[in-house]
Amino acid sequence: MAAMTHVLGLDLANPVVVGSGLLTDQERNIRRLLETGAGAVVTKTIHPSPPTGLDERILRLPTGMINSTTYSKRSVGHWLGILRSLAHDGLPVIASLHADTPAELAELAVQVEATGCRALELGISCLNEEAGLDDSAERVHSYTAAVRAATPLPFSVKLASGEGLNARATAAARAGADAVTISDTLPAAVVHPETGELELGGVFGYSGPGIKPLVLASLWQLRRAGFQLPVLASGGVQSGRDVHDYLRLGAVVTQVYSALHTDMYDTLARIVAETAETAETAGTAGTAGPSDPALEARRPEQVQS
């Protein structure tokens, strides 16, 4: 058995968390993913005014998938009912939230807190909105600070690997985040072999095994620079070995998403079982992270880069 893991105020039975996405847009799925053994589940990102009229699709690639989806199309009111019911049953569910402005996101966080939900993830780094996303430390700071001022609930800020990540993660830490989630999908493009045009009509979010080495590198660089907050790692997890790779580099838990688009429940059960088996041989059961003595030795201030 994998040891209990503590993150965002939740005690998880294991470090395999189902990440936010289409598969976590329904209460039924969330409940069944937990019954199947997920340590926790992150909801699809809830947004008071999700974009409408976009062509939201998924394209499978040999090394993962590219998707042009944005936020849940279910209303906030509908989600508050779901979160109330999940909280009533004491389930480890993390509500993923975003909004058009920091003030609206803070207001949404307060509404979600009232449902009894115990942890949040700020899904502020989706690049699939029409204008794309030019993220910055200042933007991350404003969203994070607004939510911190509005609720005592523990929350993680989800960021995308890439340029300026250390500065964005540091901005989240300084503005009061309890953890960061790395990484959201990364910008990618696929050319249609016949038309020569970009598939899905542009640059959209890439996920799956192709991004795992990039996310591992980000995690390593953050830790080497002395970043101290817990990191929830997300990117290309398909096996227990992948989970332990992230734990060994200092993640407190890992999220798994794209892999579950194939045989969702069976795949999750396999990854959870492999994670427990690997923990016995590798000695990593969600105990790495800032308390890891090897990392403590390099300790340090939050960094800018």
Ligand X SMILES: Cc1cc2nc3c(=O)[nH]c(=O)nc-3n(C[C@H](O)[C@H](O)[C@H](O)COP(=O)(O)O)c2cc1C
How close are the terminal C-alpha atoms of the chain, in Å?
39
Q: Which of residues 271-300 bind ligand X (CB under 6 A)?
A: none
Q: Which element (helix H / strand E) includes 67?
A: strand 64-67
Nearer to ligand X, 71 or 79 (CB): 71
Largest CA distance in the chain: 55
Q: Which long-range contacts (CB under 8 A, 24 or more apart) does 70-77 make?
A: 70/45, 70/126, 70/128, 70/129, 71/44, 71/45, 71/46, 71/47, 71/98, 71/123, 71/126, 72/25, 72/43, 72/44, 72/45, 72/46, 72/47, 74/25, 74/46, 76/46, 76/48, 76/108, 76/111
Q: Would you count residue 168 as binding ligand X (CB under 6 A)?
A: no
Question: In this chain, which of 208, 230, 286, 289 binds ligand X, going by CB under 6 A?
Answer: 208
Q: Which of residues 58-77 bind ligand X (CB under 6 A)?
A: 58, 65, 67, 69, 71
Question: In this chain, which of 5, 142, 161, 185 binds ligand X, going by CB under 6 A?
Answer: 185
Q: Which of residues 78-107 bind ligand X (CB under 6 A)?
A: 96
Number of residues that bind ligand X (CB under 6 A): 27
We find the least distance from the C-beta atom of residue 233 to ligand X, in angstroms, to be 9
We find the least distance from the C-beta atom of residue 223 to ligand X, in angstroms, to be 19
Nearer to ligand X, 15 or 236 (CB): 236
Binding site for ligand X (CB under 6 A): 19-22, 44-45, 58, 65, 67, 69, 71, 96, 123, 126, 158, 184-185, 207-208, 211, 234-237, 256-258
